[in-house]
Amino acid sequence: MLSLFLKCVMGAGVVLLISILSKSKAFYIAGLVPLFPTFALIAHVIVAQERGSEALAQTALFGLWALIPYFVYLLVVYVLATRMSVLSCLSLATLCWIVVAAGLIYGWNTYMANV
């Protein structure tokens, strides 16, 4: 239970840091904070403890491929941010992320089934 509480506190800390940075002169740094591997570190520790180093390596490889949906999300936000409302832009970018992420998971599962 303490572990879950600490994870919640870490998440809240990240949100607080993003909020503070978004109000500063260096507001763009708020886009870097979510990329700090807070949750990846948690996931990697759990995977390594429960499944071992081979699973950790595979998780890291999948994480590299998982950058593609995030890239698509950011690209859509960049292209549409000044062309439509913020809500529409972020909604469409999120939908694109979901579609690309689903494709990635399908492709990964298909590839891993053949290995």
Which tokens hold the place of 11?
């998440």
CA distance 6 to 60: 23
Residues of the chain with pLDDT > 90, as a percent, come to 69
Query: Do the domain assignments include residue 30?
Result: no
Query: CB of 21 within 8 A of CB of 30?
Result: yes
Q: What is the pLDDT of residue 55?
A: 95
Query: Do the domain assignments include residue 19?
Result: no
Query: Do the domain assignments include residue 83?
Result: yes
Q: In the predicted model, is pLDDT for residue 115 greater than 80?
A: no
pTM value surpassing 0.75: yes
- As for how many domains the chain has, the answer is 1
Q: Show the domain range for 104.
A: 53-114
Query: Do the domain assignments include residue 107?
Result: yes
